[in-house]
Amino acid sequence: MRTTTLFSLVLLALGIAACGDAEETIAPVENPQDLFWALRLNAHAINLSLDQSRPEYYTFKLEATPLRLDGTPFEPGPGDTLIFISSDTNRVRVSPDGLITAKAVTPSPVRVLARMQAGRVPVTNLDSAFVTVTPDVRPVKSFSIQPARTTYGIGFDTTMAARVLGPDDEPVTGLGIAYRSNLPKVANYTPTGVFMAMTPGKAMLRASMVAYGTPFSDSVEVTVTEPPEVLHVVTEYTTLPDRSNVVYFVPREVTIKVGQGVSWGPGAGGCMYGIVFDDPTNVGPSPVDGATGDLPLFCGVGTRTIRKFYVPGTYEYQAWLLPTLEKGKVIVVP
């Protein structure tokens, strides 16, 4: 009887301990779908003027929507905070509730940052809008993206900026436009409207702006295919035993067909040290800006500059800024 009772007490103790462990194991964990995942503004390129004859000409109400992982709205709690910050309050002011007011003409767009901290486990997310202030209102009649084609080989870059026309069907210049790709790993869309074909697949490119209270937007689906239309060369540098810095190219030699291109971009050093061809006569043009011949020095992760080749031959080149370990070579075949 005593042994049975003792044994029962031991089982009861183990049961209590097991229940305690189980409770810790199955303690409520916040569903990832319920987390504050992103903050989305209602506009990313806003154009205002100093004309105060109508409120929409010189003010805009910025609204920030918190989102869950699946893109549905996230409900903020009472302790969650949202703030707006202007990078230049002398030209563009923003109130605590997001009302933007133009104060002076902007030589370059002014960034307005929205920052929100929300969730039971506080998470901070940001989004930005860029505000351009013009002296007067520039009426817009139409806004569109009109690419020459929608299928590109990997590596191809081209300008795909939105076309903005006024009532006289002439281009309207000086307005800020936002560019965005839904799949940057397939097709990148830079802030200046340059499309970059990255990897095979389809992506939707979207351009948008608010002009003096009126929203405009257009989108186009692009397809990126194999084989590459442009081959990429990475510009690297190394330090030799004598402590001198030299540039080398990866790959050093590429072979392409007439009509294809080569792009050059920075490696780990972050800069492309300029390219000088032995004979630049038939080098180019670039599909982005029409430039031909030698390439300038530029820096920036993810940047690249293209030259297309239409004349068969062997094109040798070296770096401009630093000595070159071994000349690079582009072989163009019919």
- Residue-wise pLDDT for 122-135, tens only, equals 899 999 999 999 99
Q: Where do runs of H (alpha helix) occur along the chain? A: 2-25, 55-58
Q: What is the rounded CA–CA span in Å between residue 134 and residue 82?
A: 28
Question: 230-333: which CATH number, 3.40.50.300, 2.40.50.140, 2.60.40.420, 3.30.310.50?
Answer: 2.60.40.420
Give me the chain's average pLDDT, please. Answer: 91
Can you give the pLDDT at residue 27? Answer: 41
Residue 5: phi, psi to the nearest 5?
-60, -45
More confident residue, 6 or 59: 59
Cα dihedral: 103, 107, 112, 113 (round 10): -150
Give the pLDDT confidence score for residue 34 in this predicted structure.
77
Q: Which backbone phi and psi does 276 adopt, to 5 degrees?
A: -120, 120
Average pLDDT score over residue span 319-324: 94
Question: What is the dihedral angle through the alpha carbons of 318, 245, 263, 226, rounded to the nearest 10 degrees?
Answer: 120
- pLDDT at site 32: 63
**CA–CA separation, 226 and 233 (whole Å):** 18
Range in 16-30, 185-199, 231-245, 309-323 the model is least confident about: 16-30
Q: pTM of the entire structure?
A: 0.81
Question: Which residues, other chains included, contact 187 with Cβ-Cβ below 8 Å and sequence gap of 6+?
Answer: 181, 195, 196, 197, 198, 201, 203, 205, 222, 224
Q: What angle do CA 19, 24, 26 make, to 5 degrees?
A: 90
Backbone angles phi, psi at 116, to 5 degrees: -130, 135
| Amino acid 30: pLDDT | 58
Q: Are 258 and 333 in contact, with CB atoms under 8 Å apart?
A: yes
Model confidence band, residue 9 (pLDDT cutoffs 50, 70, 90):
very low
Q: Model confidence at 302, in pLDDT bands (50, 70, 90)?
A: confident
pLDDT at 164: 98
- pLDDT-above-70 percentage for the chain: 90
Angular region, 243: left φ>0, alpha ψ -120 to 50, beta rest:
left
How far is it, in rounded angstroms, from Cα 189 to Cα 31? 33
Confidence at 47, pLDDT banded by 50, 70, 90: very high
Mean pLDDT for the stretch of residues 20-38? 61
pLDDT tens digits, one per residue of 104-120: 999 999 999 999 998 88
CATH architecture, domain 144-206+220-225: Sandwich (2.60)
Q: How far is CA 160 from CA 120, 164, 176, in A?
A: 42, 12, 15
Enter the CATH code of domain 32-134.
Answer: 2.60.40.1080
- Neighbouring CB atoms inside 10 A of 205's CB total 23
At 286, which amino acid appears? S
Q: Is the preceding peptide bond at 200 cis, omega within 30 degrees of 0?
A: no
Q: What value does the CA radius of gyration of the chain take, rounded to a whole number of Å?
A: 28
Asked if residues 318 and 327 have their Cβ atoms less than 8 Å apart, the reply is yes
SS3 state at 325: coil
Q: Are strands 59-61 and 92-94 parallel, antiparallel or unpaired?
A: unpaired
Residue 48 has pLDDT above 60, yes or no: yes
CA distances for 239 relative to 20, 54, 246, 267, 301, angstroms: 62, 62, 6, 14, 21
Sorted by where each begins, the domain ranges of the chain are: 32-134, 144-206+220-225, 230-333
Report, as an integer, the average pLDDT of 231-245: 94
Token readout for 132 is: 């351009």
Q: How far apart are CA 80 and CA 122, in angstroms?
A: 8
Alpha carbons 324 and 238: distance in angstroms, whole number: 10
- Between 232 and 30, where is the model more confident? 232
Name every residue whose Cβ is closer than 8 Å to that of residue 180 and which is 6 or more positions away in sequence. 44, 189, 205, 206, 208
* Residue 205 to residue 131: CA distance in whole angstroms: 21
Looking at 10-24, 51-65, 119-133, 291-305, which range is the least confident one?
A: 10-24
